[in-house]
Amino acid sequence: MYSNIKRPLRLLLCLMALVSAEANSQNKKMLTEKDFALWSTLASPAISQNGNWASYHLQYESGKDTLFLKAKKGKRAYSFAAGRNESFNNEKGFACLKNDTLVLHNLKLGNERIATDVSEYAFSGNGKYVAMLKGNEGNAVLEIADMQGKGTHTLSNVSSWQASADSNALLCSLKDGDQFKVMLIGLGNSITEKIIAASPDGLFTNLTFSKDAKAISFSQQTTTENRLWFYDGTMPPKVFSPSGRGDFPKDLSIAAQVYDRLYISDDHSKVFFYITEPRKQADPQDAIVEIWNTADRRIYPKVKRFGDGTLGNKLAFWQPQSGRFVQLTDKKFPNGSVLPGQHYAVLYDRFRYEPQFEAFGPRDLWLVDLETGSKKLVAEKLGGGNREILLSPSVKYITYVKDCNWWVYDIAIGTHVNITKDLGVPVCDTENDQPDKPGLYGNPGWTENDKSVLVYDKFDIWEISPDGKISRRLTHGREKGIRFRIEPLTETQKFNTDGIDNSNGSFNLAKGLVLQAHNHDTSYNGYFRWEEKAGEKPLVWEHSRIDNFMPSASGNTFAYVSQRFDSAPKLAVNNYEGQKGTTVVQSNPQQKGYYWGTARQISYDVHGKKVSGVLFYPSGYKPGIKYPMVVHIYQQQLRYIHDYENPSMYIRDGFNVTNLVNEGYFVLYPDIVYETGKTGQSATDCVLAAVDEVISQGAVDPKKVALQGHSFGGYETYCILTHTNRFACGVAGSGWTDLLSLYLSVSKNYQDTEYFRMEHDQIRMGKTLFEDPARYLENSPVLDADKLETPLLSWTGEKDGQISALQSIEFHLALRRLQKPNTLLVYPGQDHSLELKESQHDLSKKMLEWFGYYLKGEKKPEWTTAK
C-alpha cells in the first residue's frame, strides 16, 4: 500500500514544480534600453588580512560608482558613494577617499572619522598610523596620525613622499626655508624623524628604499647637474656628483625625472640608475626632405616617432662605498637589465640584425660580471622576449629559448644544455596555426637553491634539473584534459622586469602551489592546490569563468570571482580545504526579474577536424519557434562562453551579445582554424560548418542569418560575404580589404611596415608578396567586390591607427563603381574602436536597426536611403 501512495506523490511534486516554474516565468519581463542603467560592473575586489572582510566597486555607465565594504559573515555592510583608493588596515580598519575626504572606518566598532583636503594616504605596516598628504603639490602638508587618536605628526612644504616595502618607514622630500631636505620618518612604537640630506642647491626626487628598508637613495636636480645621494645608516650620506669625474661620459647627465626610478642592490653595495643623452637638435635638412634608405636599421617614420634606439637612456650603477661608477648600456649595447642578486647583467642590442622582418629581431646575449666588468657572449641570434631569458635565484644558471626548447647555460663552466629535448612532449605551441615560430608554453621560474627549473607543456608543469638529466611531471593534466599553470601568491613567485630589475619566480615546492586550471573540452575552470605527496586537488572547479585569485595576507583564505553568461560576476571567499566558497556579493541581482539567454558549447566538423564554438540562446527561448541568428566572428571564441556581458548601448564596436539575445536572436561564436595562405577560405569553411550545425538543430531560420565582425573579424566578414550568399545581411567594422596596398603601407600606430602582420601574424600568408602574389590577390576581398550579393553595412573610425579607414573606403568605392548598394559609416575623430559615447550609441543603434530590417522584417532605417 505504501508503494501505491509513492507514485501519485511524485506526480504531484512534479506538477507543483511545473506550476512554480511557470509562475516564476510569468513574473519576468523583457529588457528594454531604459533598464540598462540598472546594470553595474563588479570591479577591484580585495580582501582583508584574514579574509573576514571584502571590498569591491560597482561601476555604472552613469558614472555614479559606489565602493562597498562587506563582512564575510553576517550582514554588516557599508557603502561609499564615489569611493576610491581603498585599503585595509589589517583586520582593524578600512579607508577610502571620497573626492578629497579620507574616510577611516573602524571594522570592529563600525564607526567612522574623516579627514578633509587629502590627496594621498597610506597605513603603516604595523597598523598604528595613517599618513595623509594634504594641500597642493609642492607645498603640501604630510600629516601622520595615530590610529588611536593620540596625536598627529606634521611636515610642511612636502613635494613628494615614499613608503618602504613594509610601510613602517617614510621618506619625504620638502623645502624648509632656503633648504631642500629629505626626512626619514620611522613608524614604530613612536614616530621618529631624521634629516638625511639638506642642501640649498635643488629639489630631491626619486625617493627610493632598498627592499629591506635599511638603505635609501634619491636624486637631486640642481641648476648645473643632477646628483645621486645614498644613505645606509651612516652619516653623512654619500653623494655622487658627475662634475669633474673622468669616468662619467661627456655630455650625458643623470636622469632625474620622476619616472626615472632608482634601484638599490640587495646587499646595498650598488645604486642603479639611468643616464640620459643630450636632447638631439632637429636637423634643418629634415624640414626640406626626408631621406629613406632601404638599408636603414629602422624605417624613417619609426625613428621619427620613437627616436633612435641607440640614444635612449643608459643603465649605470654607482658603488657608494668605493665611489666606483660603471655605465652598463651604451650605443653598442643599448638594451639590458640587472639579474637577481645584482652581481650580473645581460646586455644586447634588439636592433642588431635590422633590417629584418620578424615581429622581434634576434639578439646576441652578453653576460656582464658587475664586479670585474668582464663581458661574455652567452648565445647568438636568440629570439623571444625578456620572459624567455631567466636567471636562477642563486645566480648559477641562465635559461633561454632556442629551437623550440629550453636551454640552460651554466655561468661557472660556460656549458649549454638542452633540458627539454627528451621530455617526450613538446614545450612549444605546435598547434598554433599562424605561420610563425611557435612560442613556448612558458617557464614560471626556479625552485629554491637552483635545484631545478619549472617548465610548462600544453597541460602540465615539469620540474627539470639544470643538467637536464632528471625530470618529473608534477601534475596530471594531460590525462584529464586540464591545463595547469602556477598562480603566483607572493612577490617572490612573480616574474618582474621593469627595465632595471629582471627577476623570475622562485618556488618552494615543499610549501605547495596554487594552480590555475582550465579544461578546453568542457569549459570548466578553477583553481587547484598542489602538494608534494597528494598532487593536485581542486579548491574551486566550476563550469564558469573563475579568475581574480586573491590570497589573504595570512595565507588562510582566498577570494575569487566567478561568472557565467547567465549569472553575473560574484565575489566569493574560501579556505584551502576545498569546501564551497562563501558568496560575499552577487552583482546585478535584478537580473532575476528579466528573461535572459543561455550559452552552450557546440562542436562541428571542418575537413575531418573537430572544432568548437558557442551558441547563445535567445531570452525566453521557446522550442518549436524558428529564430533569426547573428554570427559573430574573430578567431578562437570558445574562451568567451562564460563571459557575462551587461546590456548596454555604449559598446566600442557596437556589438553586444546580451542586447541581441534579448532582441530574440540566437548568437553564434564559431572557432576558426586556418590553413596558411588560405585565410579567407578557412574562415568561410569554418563559419559555414558551424552555421550548418546550428541549423540542423532546427531552432534557427536558415534564411534569417547575419554575419558580423570587427577588425580581423571585419576582414573575415568581407572575405566570407564575397564568397557565399548564405547570409541575409552582414556588418563589417574596421576590416582589411586590400592586402596589396596594406602590405606596402606603414602602420599608423606602430610607424612600421606591415610585412610581419601579413606574412606571419593574423593574415597568415606565410610568404612574401613577391614569393606568391596570387595568394595575396585571392585573400583581398576588394578584388571580389563584384561577387558581393549580400546587403552589407560597413563602418570605420576616421582616425583608425590599427587598420586604416582607407581599407573600408576602398571596398565602399569598389561597390560604388560596380553600382552595388552599400552603406559606410565613418565616425569622425574616432580610432579603431569608438571612444566617444555618442558614436558608440549611434553604432549600436544602427546595427540593431540593420539586423531588425533584414532578419525580422522591421522598418527599413531611413539612414540607409541614398541622398
Averaged pLDDT of the chain: 93
Interatomic CA distance for residues 721 and 660, integer angstroms: 21
Interatomic CA distance for residues 710 and 751, integer angstroms: 22
Looking at residue 38, what is its pLDDT?
Answer: 97
Q: Dump pLDDT digits (tens) for 743-781.
A: 999 999 999 999 999 999 999 999 999 999 999 999 999
Looking at residue 542, what is its pLDDT?
Answer: 96
**Mean pLDDT in residue range 57-79:** 94
Q: Which string of DSSP letters, residue by residue, matches 548-592?
A: EEEE-TTSSEEEEEEEETTEEEEEEEEETT-PPPEEEEES-GGGG
Looking at residue 727, what is its pLDDT?
Answer: 98
Q: Dump pLDDT digits (tens) for 73-115.
A: 989 999 999 999 999 999 999 999 999 999 999 999 999 999 9
Short-list 311, 315, 382, CA closest to 352: 382
**Mean pLDDT in residue range 599-612:** 97
**Mean pLDDT in residue range 826-831:** 98
Looking at residue 156, what is its pLDDT?
Answer: 95
E strands in 432-544? 445-447, 453-456, 461-464, 471-473, 482-486, 496-497, 502-503, 505-507, 513-519, 524-531, 535-542
Higher pLDDT, 351 or 17: 351
> C-alpha 591: how far from its chain's center?
29
pLDDT score of 236 more than 80 = yes
Interatomic CA distance for residues 709 and 227, integer angstroms: 55
Looking at residue 308, what is its pLDDT?
Answer: 85
Kindly list the structural domains of the chain, giving each domain's residue range(s) and its CATH number in brackets, ordered by start. Answer: 62-200 (2.130.10.120), 599-738+792-858 (3.40.50.1820)
Express as a percent the part of the chain with pLDDT over 90: 84
Looking at residue 499, what is its pLDDT?
Answer: 60
Higher pLDDT, 5 or 36: 36
Which residue bears the cell 631624521? Answer: 194
- Reduced DSSP (H G I as helix, E B as strand, rest coil) percent helix, strand, coil of the chain, to 5: 20, 40, 45
User: In the structure, what pLDDT confidence band is assigned to residue 434 with cuts at 50, 70 and 90?
Assistant: very high
Find the range with the poorest average confidence among 15-24, 69-78, 523-532.
15-24
**Mean pLDDT in residue range 144-167:** 92
Q: Hey, what's the cell of 618?
A: 535567445
Looking at residue 674, what is its pLDDT?
Answer: 97
Segment of 132-141, 192-201, 570-579 carrying the highest mean pLDDT: 192-201
Looking at residue 17, what is its pLDDT?
Answer: 44
Looking at residue 689, what is its pLDDT?
Answer: 98
Whether the link from the prior residue into 355 is cis, omega within 30° of 0, is yes
Looking at residue 13, what is its pLDDT?
Answer: 44
**Mean pLDDT in residue range 216-245:** 95
**Mean pLDDT in residue range 491-497:** 83
Interatomic CA distance for residues 204 and 160, integer angstroms: 9
pTM for the model: 0.93
